[in-house]
Amino acid sequence: MAPPPAEKVRTMFELLGIPPQALFGQLLLGLINGSFYALLSLGLAVIFGLLNIINFAHGAQYMMGAFVAWMLLNYIGIGYWWALILSPLIVGATGVIIERLMISRLYKLDHLYGLLLTFGLALIIQGLFRDQYGISGLPYQIPSQLAGGQNLGFMFLPNYRGWVVVASLVICLSTWYVIERTRLGAYLRAATENPTLVGAFGVNVPRMITLTYGFGVALAALAGVLAAPIYSVNPNMGADLIIVVFAVVVIGGMGSIMGAIITGFGLGLVEGLTRVFYPEASSVVIFVIMAIVLLVKPAGLFGREA
Amino acid sequence: MTDASGSLLTVENLQGWYGESHVLHGMNLHVREGEVVTLLGRNGAGKTTTILALMGILAKRTGSIRFAGTETIGLAARQIARLGMAIVPEERGIFASLSVEENLMLPPTIKPGGIGVEQIFELFPNLRERLTSQGTKLSGGEQQMLAIARVLRTGSRMILMDEPTEGLAPVIVQQIGRTISRLKEQGFTIVLVEQNFRFAASVADRHYVVEQGRVIDEIANAELERNMDKLHGYLGV
Ligand SMILES: Nc1ncnc2c1ncn2[C@@H]1O[C@H](COP(=O)(O)OP(=O)(O)OP(=O)(O)O)[C@@H](O)[C@H]1O
Ligand SMILES: [Mg+2]
């Protein structure tokens, strides 16, 4: 007689020598990290597609998102749910100003200048926040509606972490839908391919570019608000994360929206699994994969060959 | 809207540059409302550059271009488009990341009175069957039809077409010729760049011969037969 399924699963884990709690715990952590990788690399991909600029300020803008949520709460008493909307709007607006005043002057030059400008901006923004708030990190409470968690039998799922994964998925897929399936997205895709011709049809391409940058920045800020209750709000939170996100983007390939999403979540999971089976490699596994992908498929897993 | 001379488009002493390279050296031409006018000339004569300058895509240009009563020499392409000028570019400009339908619906409506989608499918039945295909998966002829069809929707009354017959099979060239004649009947004004002057003769009212960035001759279509030898000389055929 075959053993019952639960028995089978337990036997499997015993064979691997891994308690299921640890495995699922790490997978969940991987999914959480993957959510942030996906949200951030999605914004980078959208910006790069239309502006041809690698937005090095992305990590700083993610950090700003978390800080603006913290400020809204601590200075004027606006809580998490409103911050989820207001912070991306505020930080996105700063993105619009930055694009209009600075980035737009660089389109005629080599891509490298945009990279240098946004890198410089990142350092300035991080420096300003460090100066004001120090580096010890500020706490941000999980909203009361999402406190606590669920016992799923095989693991304990904190509600807030479940929310982050679901919200990220919904945001990523909605963004994908708008870009790949709507009329607005068709303008964006067309302008990514041939902005001159789209302009010659009477479309205001410079305005589209500005709004797209603002949108990408707002996505980073939204990720920052989601992150605030998990990680402490800290001027360096973006700088640490963005290096990994750039590796994710290189692995996924720059131009692809769905590629950014799948690679983001996928690599989060891979990282989590590595932490279970070979913890020593968990902090470098993404970079090892990046090196391999660069050697085998330089345009990235989902990238179009140039 | 036409100016005192009755022209919808009047070009005077148009100069144009690609960066430092001076390509248009004082083009003069005019197009009346409802006319089909061609630009003939050898490879590299400056026909495409003229089209790009008219549309406002060639950024560095001087002289005067009056279109529909407005001086457009200092306007951006999107502003010129809004006056009712549309381009069917060389190489067709079909977007690979858009479906046929998305390509067709991409150019925004400029003015009321554009050709409806149903009538477009009557002109180009092939497109209806391929609506969900990727734009660049169409055959060359179908892509050309799509490039023409998408600007007919917009309500623009002036259409600049850059070598719409290039590289296409004779039946497709005939179909495009019939389309241009239909558009002329409907009152569209068309500037047509052509290498194939037999095709040009079948659709046009007048021809401008372009050489080294200048108009060197103007021939009415009715006079074309009599001027064949001269034209062969110009075009080097
Ligand atoms: N992007 C560019 N940069 C610099 N020079 C250019 C560029 N495009 C065209 N030229 C030059 O401008 C001149 C006119 O080119 P244009 O494309 O207008 O010719 P054309 O009459 O359309 O030729 P064809 O019949 O081959 O299409 C040519 O000498 C060409 O080499
Ligand atoms: Mg040409």
Token representation of residue A248: 């994710």
Q: B82 and A202 in contact by Cβ < 8 A?
A: yes
C-beta separation of A126 from A224 below 8 A:
no
Question: According to the model, what pLDDT value does residue B225 have?
Answer: 87
Task: Identify the structural domains of chain B with CATH numbers, from first to last.
Answer: 7-235 (3.40.50.300)
Across A117-133, average pLDDT:
96
C-beta separation of A245 from A40 below 8 A:
yes
Residue A20 binned pLDDT confidence (cut-offs 50, 70, 90) = confident
CA distances from A217 to A116, A248, A260, B169 (A): 17, 18, 16, 49
What ipTM does the predicted assembly reach? 0.95
C-beta separation of A238 from A59 below 8 A:
yes
Cα A173 off chain centre by? 13
| pLDDT digit string (tens) for chain B, length 237 residues | 556 567 999 999 999 999 999 999 999 999 999 999 999 999 999 999 999 999 999 999 999 999 999 999 999 999 999 999 999 999 999 999 999 999 999 999 999 989 999 999 999 999 999 999 999 999 999 999 999 999 999 999 999 999 999 999 999 999 999 999 999 999 999 999 998 878 999 999 999 999 999 999 999 999 988 988 888 888 887
Question: According to the model, what pLDDT value does residue A23 have?
Answer: 87
Q: How far is the first Cα of chain B from the last one, in angstroms, to the nearest whole number?
A: 39
Question: According to the model, what pLDDT value does residue B1 have?
Answer: 57
Q: Does any CB of chain A come closer than 8 Å to the CB of residue B16?
A: no
pLDDT tens, residue by residue, A186-204: 999 999 999 999 999 999 9
Q: Is the CB of B84 under 6 A from ligand 1?
A: no
Question: According to the model, what pLDDT value does residue A46 have?
Answer: 92
Q: Does any CB of chain B come closer than 8 Å to the CB of residue A186?
A: yes
Residue A7 binned pLDDT confidence (cut-offs 50, 70, 90) = low
The span from the CA of A126 to the CA of B229, in Å, is 74
Q: Does any CB of chain B come closer than 8 Å to the CB of residue A199?
A: yes
Protein residue closest via CA to atom 29 of ligand 1: B44
Question: According to the model, what pLDDT value does residue A2 have?
Answer: 57
Question: According to the model, what pLDDT value does residue B162 have?
Answer: 97
The span from the CA of A187 to the CA of A183, in Å, is 7
Residue A152 binned pLDDT confidence (cut-offs 50, 70, 90) = confident
If you count them, how many residues does chain B have? 237
Question: According to the model, what pLDDT value does residue B202 have?
Answer: 92
Q: How far is the first Cα of chain A from the last one, in angstroms, to the nearest whole number?
A: 58
Shortest Cα distance from B89 to chain A (angstroms)?
9
Question: According to the model, what pLDDT value does residue A291 have?
Answer: 95
pLDDT tens, residue by residue, A127-143: 999 999 999 899 999 99
For residue A194, give the nearest of B80, B81, B93 by CB distance: B93
Q: Does any CB of chain B come closer than 8 Å to the CB of residue A194?
A: yes
Across A151-157, average pLDDT:
86
Q: Is the CB of B23 under 6 A from ligand 1?
A: yes
Centre of ligand 2 to C-alpha B175, Å, is 21
Q: Is the CB of B189 under 6 A from ligand 1?
A: no
Higher-confidence residue: A122 or A232? A122
Q: B106 and A201 in contact by Cβ < 8 A?
A: yes
Token representation of residue A21: 């709690």
Q: Does any CB of chain B come closer than 8 Å to the CB of residue A306?
A: no
Q: B105 and A198 in contact by Cβ < 8 A?
A: no
Protein residue closest via CA to atom 26 of ligand 1: B43
Centre of ligand 1 to C-alpha B66, Å, is 23
Across A239-259, average pLDDT:
89
Q: Is the CB of B41 under 6 A from ligand 1?
A: yes
Q: A202 and B154 in contact by Cβ < 8 A?
A: yes
Residue from B47, B163, B166, B216 whose mutation best tests the ligand 1 pocket (most atoms within 8 A of CB): B47
Q: Is the CB of B49 under 6 A from ligand 1?
A: yes
Q: What ligand 1 atom has the least distance to the C-alpha of B42?
A: 25
Residue contacts between A and B (CB atoms, under 8 Å): 61
Query: Which of A176, A183, A201, A254 has the highest number of chain B CBs within 10 A, making it the mutation to test binding with B?
Result: A201
Q: Is the pLDDT of residue A282 over 70?
A: yes
Average pLDDT, chain A: 92
Token representation of residue B214: 């200048």
Q: What is the pTM of this model?
A: 0.90
